């Protein structure tokens, strides 16, 4: 299957700092990527849809100024958690659909811990 690479796999940061997470499609182009957040023992919740060359679309309740998304190329989307707080600690996962269908391949996830 298609490969989606996410980096870093884990990060610990101090409260108030910003953290950038990268999501790359390695063997295909992705005009759209999705960012999810997953709390322990819970399901994946969609945060935003990243669109190459245009603004991201955020789900209700997700602060766009706090979770900055940039999709500058067809193979890279980034999520920046700005002024991180302990409540932002979570598992962040990106995905990208391939071809003409919705089949979504997921990155390996990023475990963010804010201390």
Partner 1 sequence: GENVEQHPSTLSVQEGDSAVIKCTYSDSASNYFPWYKQELGKGPQLIIDIRSNVGEKKDQRIAVTLNKTAKHFSLHITETQPEDSAVYFCAASIEGTGRRALTFGSGTRLQVQP
Number of H helices, E strands in the chain: 0, 11
Q: For residue 58, state whether it binds partner 1 (rule: CB under 8 A).
A: no
Q: For residue 101, state whether it binds partner 1 (rule: CB under 8 A).
A: yes
In contact, 113 and 9? CB cutoff 8 Å: no
Nearer Cβ to partner 1 (26/45): 45
Nearer Cβ to partner 1 (32/89): 32
Half-sphere exposure of 30 (CA within 13 A, CB side): 29
Find the angle CA(84)-CA(78)-CA(70) to the nearest 5 degrees.
105
Q: For residue 108, state whether it binds partner 1 (rule: CB under 8 A).
A: yes
Binding site for partner 1 (CB under 8 A): 1, 4, 6, 31-32, 34, 42-46, 49, 93, 95, 97, 101-109, 111
């Amino acid at each position: 299957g298609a490969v989606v690479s996410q980096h870093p796999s884990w990060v610990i940061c101090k409260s108030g700092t910003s953290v950038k997470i990268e999501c790359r499609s390695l063997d295909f182009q992705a005009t759209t990527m999705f960012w999810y957040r997953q709390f322990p023992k819970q399901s994946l919740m969609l945060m935003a849809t990243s669109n190459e060359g245009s603004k991201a679309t955020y789900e209700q309740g997700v602060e766009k100024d706090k979770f900055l998304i940039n999709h500058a190329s067809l193979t890279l989307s980034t999520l920046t958690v700005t002024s991180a707080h302990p409540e932002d600690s979570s598992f962040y996962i990106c995905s990208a659909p391939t071809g003409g269908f919705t089949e979504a391949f997921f990155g390996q996830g990023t475990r963010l811990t804010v201390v």
